[in-house]
Chain A
Amino acid sequence: MNRLGRMWDSDIAWSFRHSPVAVVAAAMALIIILAAVFAPWIAPYNPFDPSSLNLMDGFTPPGEPNAFTGNTYLMGTDNQGRDIFSTILYGARISLFVGFAAVIFAMVLGIGLGLLAGWRGGWVDSLLMRVADVQLSFPSILIALLIFGVARGFIPPSMREEVAIWVLIVSIGLSDWVQYARVVRGAAMVEKSKEYVQAARVIGVHPARIVLRHILPNVMGPVLVIATIGLALAIIAEATLSFLGVGVPPTQPSLGTLIRIGQQYLFSGEWWILLFPSIALLLLALSVNLLGDWLRDALNPRLR
């Protein structure tokens, strides 16, 4: 198709094809994402179906047949006899979902407030940016923990399990919007003073339309870069919270939950329960991060 052909010829595509790191990182991220999305079809077992679990299968080392049942698992099993490979696929699904949702939440909030601050200026701008400064002076994981804790206090215990994942998304998103707001505000202030915006104002285009149709498309470049790097950060933040035991409930373990469970068995010799989920998290965060770094360099004309 013509449009595809044009995309293939664009500067970004050229830079992508000529960056082996970007190609490998994109391939890796794509494999992990596809594996996570299609986990129910790919995974050899369903680790969350109690009827398929056999406690006798517990602590099977990777690649070796179990002493009692004779079953062999690629990455071994955990204490309850769950296949590690399958739990990683399902765990990555939750990690990725939380990561994407948190980034989208932070992005929408940050872009909205950033555009408002950049366009209006004056006291609106000062107020929003001081709030952002205050929030930036705390580590974001601390903010997420705080919001998570406060939000749980308002939710009746019977509903906590169901909404835990949404509370987690909002906590991580709220701890991360500042980045987007600052970048968008700066870019919006630059675009606002450009003559094409003045041209739209001369004909009396509604301010909301100017902001959304003229300014927003021109500030999306840097936003995409921080969103990519932000995805890696959100996945790690989710893993950290789950590792600390405040994230997703144990019935829906993410990669962080798996690592928390695994580290209890490290010193008793069952290393695979910790190692494989950790490698999966590492590969996921690394590939997304490398993609973000490449995108930042590719979109920055001064680094070419």
Chain B
Amino acid sequence: MSDALLKIENLTRYFDVSKPWLNRMLEREEKQFLTAVADVSFEIKRGETFALVGESGSGKSTIAKMVVGLIGASEGTITFDGHNMTGTAGAEMRDLRRRFQMIFQDPFASLNPRWRVGDIIAEPIHTFGLLKGAQVTNRVGELLDTVGLSAKDAEKFPHEFSGGQRQRIAIARALSSKPEFIVCDEPTSALDVSVQAQILNLMKDLQDEMGLTYLFISHDLSVVRHMANRIGVLYLGSLVEVADGKKLFSEPQHPYTRMLLDAVPDLALSGRRRKPVEGEIPNPINPPSGCAFHPRCPLVMPRCKVDPPHRVETPTGYAACFALEKQPA
């Protein structure tokens, strides 16, 4: 498809979690690897918000870090606007870097406490050599204005701001290089609920104004429902279902997605009984055989314990589950 801005194919990441060499030799143990992300493929179209949801340890943040190049991929490719990011370096990579940015989870850690807000926001401008001298100050003032702060705030230090204001500063920094694509790694999970909505609405407004594309990582389904055009559900490093935003909530396909949705607190007090999520996410060093979800799955079949399921089309998108495959006639 030509309008795919980001294309991820068979992305896999192992982490070496072995003990040090000497311990391994003495205790006669093999090297151990943790599979954080296993064979994940998806596309993000220009101008849409693609959300990744999943429990802690499902590999959401690892994917985000691989997309922006903070960590390398073990296998698979990431293609940004036709450029393969794993094989790019030098000036071409620099140009690509200008076009994507990241917003982090914790606004108390993502701003250098010793820098003035103006310098923090201007860092991408200086790094990419976009503007010079007084133009930088003007641009920083504009950006602060865009995110709902005052141009005078450029003189202050991060500790003079609240969590929500700091996240606005982080957004201003992400916007300063005029990117097309922003990876948002749980941008509201460290904020108060009342502030979350403001930040999310700001992000939506910016998307409409500037035609931004978001990869939105979250574990909060209500936030995802508000933001996303399409949603991918991760379980133990594998993408189990991808569906259009609202339809994921109305017509969940994969048994894991259904389990997640059943666990969401019901604020409307409709009297629906909430089913808690059963079981724990398994240890990714020793994942279950076949489908990683089979120990917790209510629809488990003998086949699930042997073969990993393949992707099948569903009415709302696609999912990886044998129970959803059409029975052979």
Chain B residues with a Cβ under 8 A of chain A: 65, 68-70, 93-94, 97-98, 101-102, 104-106, 109-114, 123-124, 127-128, 170, 173, 177
Across the two chains, which residue of chain A brings its CB closest to B104? A195
A150 located at the interface, meaning its Cβ lies under 8 Å from any Cβ of chain B in the complex: no
Task: List, in ascending order, chain B residues with CB within 8 A of A214's CB.
Answer: 112
A13 located at the interface, meaning its Cβ lies under 8 Å from any Cβ of chain B in the complex: no
In the bound complex, how far is the Cα of B105 from the Cα of A199, in angstroms?
11
A-B pair number, CB within 8 angstroms: 49
Across the two chains, which residue of chain A brings its CB closest to B98? A203
Q: Residue A195 contacts which of B69, B109, B177 (CB distance < 8 angstroms)?
A: B109
Q: Please state if B111 and A196 are interface contacts (CB–CB under 8 Å).
A: yes
**Which of the four size classes fits the interface of chain A?**
10 to 19
Question: Can you name 12 A-B residue pairings with CB atoms under 8 Å?
Answer: A194-B109, A195-B104, A195-B109, A195-B110, A198-B70, A199-B173, A202-B69, A202-B70, A203-B177, A204-B93, A204-B94, A217-B114
In the bound complex, how far is the Cα of B126 from the Cα of A205, in angstroms?
10
Q: Please state if B70 and A195 are interface contacts (CB–CB under 8 Å).
A: no
Q: Please state if A203 and B112 are interface contacts (CB–CB under 8 Å).
A: no
Q: Please state if B110 and A196 are interface contacts (CB–CB under 8 Å).
A: yes
Task: List, in ascending order, chain B residues with CB within 8 A of A194's CB.
Answer: 109-110
In the bound complex, how far is the Cα of B110 from the Cα of A214, in angstroms?
12
Indicate with 1 or 0, residue by residue over A189-215, a CB within 8 angstroms of chain B CB atoms: 000001110111111110000000010
B266 CB, min distance to chain A CBs, angstroms = 34
Given contacts A196-B110, A218-B112, contact A205 B127 (CB under 8 A): yes
Indicate with 1 or 0, residue by residue over A159-172, a CB within 8 angstroms of chain B CB atoms: 00000000000000
A202 CB, min distance to chain B CBs, angstroms = 5
Q: Please state if B109 and A196 are interface contacts (CB–CB under 8 Å).
A: yes
**Which 8 A-B pairs rank lowest in CB-CB distance, beginning with the nearest?**
A195-B110, A195-B104, A217-B114, A195-B109, A196-B112, A204-B97, A194-B109, A202-B68
A34 CB, min distance to chain B CBs, angstroms = 31
Task: List, in ascending order, chain A residues with CB within 8 A of B105's CB.
Answer: 195
Indicate with 1 or 0, residue by residue over A2-32, a CB within 8 angstroms of chain B CB atoms: 0000000000000000000000000000000
A282 CB, min distance to chain B CBs, angstroms = 37
Across the two chains, which residue of chain A brings its CB closest to B177? A203
Most buried by B among A196, A201, A218: A196
Q: Please state if B123 and A200 are interface contacts (CB–CB under 8 Å).
A: yes
Task: List, in ascending order, chain B residues with CB within 8 A of A204's CB.
Answer: 93-94, 97, 127
Q: Residue B110 contacts which of A199, A201, A217, A218 (CB distance < 8 angstroms)?
A: A199
In the bound complex, how far is the Cα of B68 from the Cα of A198, in angstroms?
10
Q: Residue A198 contacts which of B104, B113, B128 (CB distance < 8 angstroms)?
A: B104
Given contacts A203-B123, A205-B127, A217-B114, contact A195 B106 (CB under 8 A): yes
Q: Please state if A218 and B127 are interface contacts (CB–CB under 8 Å).
A: no
In the bound complex, how far is the Cα of B124 from the Cα of A194, in angstroms?
18
A121 CB, min distance to chain B CBs, angstroms = 13
In the bound complex, how far is the Cα of B128 from the Cα of A217, in angstroms?
23
Task: List, in ascending order, chain A residues with CB within 8 A of B123's CB.
Answer: 200, 203, 205
In the bound complex, how far is the Cα of B177 from the Cα of A246, in angstroms?
60
A216 CB, min distance to chain B CBs, angstroms = 9
Given contacts A217-B114, A218-B113, A218-B114, contact A199 B102 (CB under 8 A): yes
In the bound complex, how far is the Cα of B71 from the Cα of A201, in angstroms?
10
Across the two chains, which residue of chain B brings its CB closest to A218? B114
